[in-house]
């Protein structure tokens, strides 16, 4: 494209910049070649080898990987939960995400039981709008399905671009809905072209085991793990998949941890019905032996809990078999003083752990470098699949003309160590303290703007845009 101007005018008064990224090793879910990326304004204008184009800014990416900005479809920012709030707000959370190469997050709005969906939507929008540094979107968690919520679902899909609805099969009395509500919601969401996502664990069984352990004076963090055995997740996953199959509603299981739940999806696929599955980076890399320490184990108290080595093997295999399409984080950070709320009783430890910043680097170092997944699979599960499943593709999730210029430039050889003193998340510990990784996010572009450069964030809060999503109806 010789002869293109360095600047041109967009809307009135707006000067649009151009950037040429040269000699990058470009990786997509299916591509893998060395070439150049030309960006005009917020979008990618051209991708190819030896592009002969002038640009205002040239970035030499020799020796670096370039892949589409990663999407984390499972985060909880400033979420009211278990008597406190998750400690990253929209500013700190999305900034930490950008540092690690995640340019878009999807957070969960939580309806309060007895209140409308729009009340919750307004509260979450108020916290996010003008505060987010990176791009964001919302799922809506329906905790009280009734006639009014049914009507609101239509508006949320059509007007707000919220096309995924979350249910909790656990956390009774706060978030859990029963099977009757689940069927009703699935019928409604299917009719409107949306998808239902699920926290699939058997809440009643877990509550029984929690009460039993507490009554027996078993109060240490390991009893969090022992109160949520694999069967509680396998059973709920099976039930969810069966009801999704019956209603025909597209389904997506969040934070899958274990072989039993994976087998529920596998069995379901044998009936020609597709339920998408997401695991999270911690379930691939960490195991339940971490709960064997005393209260330190509270750092990894999350639901579902960490599992066994055999489950990690099953999850890696599930990714390679295409049964698990997404690796997210379930980023739900708390400071140590918040975890101390449960120092005398595991059931009061706020559930969740920080991961939004390191998912990409951990998956590269532990997954790609160790030969567990290919580079293409890495991009597929971190970016392309979440974009497709959640209705943002091809705007997000690929490096192609017309797409948002969300690009990560990544040094595959740089070594570094995870350390709470230097991370950007608003937590005073890391679940991966001292882990030595190979591969580091160096430069991040979000909608054509360099937002991270060599460890520095170059944009302020308010830079992030709300992304309305399309209906996908379970087809990717
Ligand atoms: O422990 C977790 N996962 N906390 C966040 C809420 C949820 O269940 O996803
Ligand atoms: Zn959950
Ligand atoms: Zn979650």
Among 438, 473, 444, CA closest to 457: 444
Distance 352 CA to ligand 2 centre (A): 9
Taking only the tens of pLDDT, the chain with its 476 residues reads 444 445 544 455 555 699 999 999 999 999 999 999 999 999 999 999 999 999 999 999 999 999 999 999 999 999 999 999 999 999 999 999 999 999 999 999 999 999 999 999 999 999 999 999 999 999 999 999 998 999 999 999 999 999 999 999 999 999 999 999 999 999 999 999 999 999 999 999 999 999 999 999 999 999 999 999 999 999 999 999 999 999 999 999 999 999 999 999 999 988 877 899 999 999 999 999 999 999 999 999 999 999 999 999 999 999 999 999 999 999 999 999 999 999 999 999 999 999 999 999 999 999 999 999 999 999 999 999 999 999 999 999 999 999 999 999 999 999 999 999 999 999 999 999 999 999 999 999 999 999 999 999 999 999 999 999 999 998 98
In this prediction, residue 270 carries a pLDDT of 85
Q: How far is the CA of 74 from the centre of ligand 3 (A)?
A: 6
How long, in residues, is the chain? 476
CATH architecture of 69-389: Alpha-Beta Barrel (3.20)
CA-proximal residue: ligand 1, atom 4 (nearest): 352
Q: What burial letters (b/e) apply to 312-333, b meaning 16+ CB within 10 Å?
A: bebbbebbeeebbbbbbbbbbb
β-strand partners of 102:
70
Contacts of 269 (CB under 8 A, 6+ apart): 275, 323
Atom 8 in ligand 1: residue holding the nearest Cα: 303
Tell which one of 86, 255, 257 to mutate to probe ligand 1, the residue whose CB is within 8 A of the most ligand atoms.
255
Q: Is the dihedral of CA 141, 342, 300, 455 positive or negative?
A: positive
- The highest-level CATH class for domain 7-67+398-457 is mainly beta
Domains 7-67+398-457 and 69-389 share a fold: no
Cα–Cα distances in Å, from 190 out to 166, 184, 197, 229?
13, 10, 12, 31
Instruction: Kindly report, residue by residue over 438-469, the tens digit of the pLDDT.
Output: 999 999 999 999 999 999 999 999 999 999 99
Q: Which atom of ligand 1 is nearest to the CA of 199?
A: 8
List all residues whose CB is within 6 A of at least one atom of ligand 1: 76, 199, 302-303, 330, 332, 351-352
pLDDT of residue 273: 78
Cα of 212 from ligand 3 centre, angstroms: 25
* pLDDT recorded at residue 42: 98
Closest ligand 1 atom, residue 303 Cα: 1
> Ligand 3 center to residue 261 CA distance, Å?
17
Residue 109 to residue 123: CA distance in whole angstroms: 9
Residue bearing the CA closest to ligand 1, atom 7: 303
Domain extents in the chain: 7-67+398-457, 69-389
3 state DSSP class of 223:
helix
The pLDDT value given to residue 1: 44
What are the Cα distances from residue 195, in Å, to 174, 190, 315, 456, 473? 22, 7, 23, 37, 6
Alpha-carbon Rg for the chain, nearest whole angstrom, is: 22
């Amino acid at each position: 494209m010789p002869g293109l101007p360095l600047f041109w005018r967009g809307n009135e008064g707006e000067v649009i910049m151009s950037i040429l990224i040269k000699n990058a090793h470009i990786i997509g879910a299916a591509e893998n070649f060395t070439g150049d990326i030309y960006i005009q304004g917020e979008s990618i204008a051209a991708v190819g080898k030896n592009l002969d184009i002038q640009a205002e800014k040239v970035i030499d990416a020799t020796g670096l990987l370039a892949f589409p900005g990663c999407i984390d479809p499972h985060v909880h920012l400033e979420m009211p939960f278990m008597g406190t709030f998750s400690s990253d707000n929209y500013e700190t959370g999305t900034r930490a995400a950008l540092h690690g190469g995640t340019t878009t997050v999807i957070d969960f709005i939580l309806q309060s039981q007895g209140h409308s969906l729009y009340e919750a939507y307004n509260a979450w929008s108020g916290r996010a709008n003008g505060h987010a540094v990176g791009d964001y979107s919302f799922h809506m968690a329906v905790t009280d399905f009734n006639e009014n919520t049914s009507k609101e679902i239509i508006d949320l899909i059509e007007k707000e671009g919220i096309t995924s609805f979350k249910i909790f099969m656990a956390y009774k009395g706060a978030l859990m809905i029963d099977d009757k509500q689940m069927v009703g919601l699935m019928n409604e969401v299917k009719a409107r072209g949306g998808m239902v996502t699920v926290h699939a664990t058997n809440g009643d069984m877990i509550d029984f085991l929690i009460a039993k352990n507490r009554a027996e004076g078993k109060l240490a963090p390991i009893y969090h793990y022992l109160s949520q055995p694999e069967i509680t997740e396998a059973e709920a996953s099976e039930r969810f998949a069966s009801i999704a199959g019956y209603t025909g509603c597209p389904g997506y299981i969040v934070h899958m941890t274990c072989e039993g739940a994976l087998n529920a999806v596998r069995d379901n696929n044998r009936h020609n019905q597709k339920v998408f599955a997401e695991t999270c980076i911690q379930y691939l890399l960490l195991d339940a032996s971490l709960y064997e320490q005393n209260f330190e184990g509270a750092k990894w108290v999350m639901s579902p809990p960490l599992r066994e080595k055999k489950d990690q093997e099953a999850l890696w295999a599930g990714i390679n078999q295409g049964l698990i399409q997404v690796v997210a984080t379930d980023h739900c950070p708390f400071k140590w003083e918040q975890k101390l709320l449960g120092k005398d009783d595991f059931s009061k430890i706020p559930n969740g752990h920080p991961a939004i910043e390191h998912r990409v680097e951990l998956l590269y170092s532990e997954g790609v470098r160790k030969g567990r997944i290919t580079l293409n699979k890495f991009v597929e599960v971190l970016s392309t699949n979440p974009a497709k499943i959640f209705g943002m593709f091809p705007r997000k999730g690929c490096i192609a003309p017309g797409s948002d210029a969300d690009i990560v430039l990544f040094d595959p050889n740089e070594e570094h160590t995870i350390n709470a003193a230097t991370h950007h998340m608003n937590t005073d510990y890391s679940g991966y303290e001292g882990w030595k990784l190979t591969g580091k996010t160096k430069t991040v572009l979000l909608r054509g703007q360099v937002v991270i450069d060599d460890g520095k964030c170059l944009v302020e809060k308010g830079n992030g845009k709300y992304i309305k999503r399309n209906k996908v109806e379970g087809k990717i």
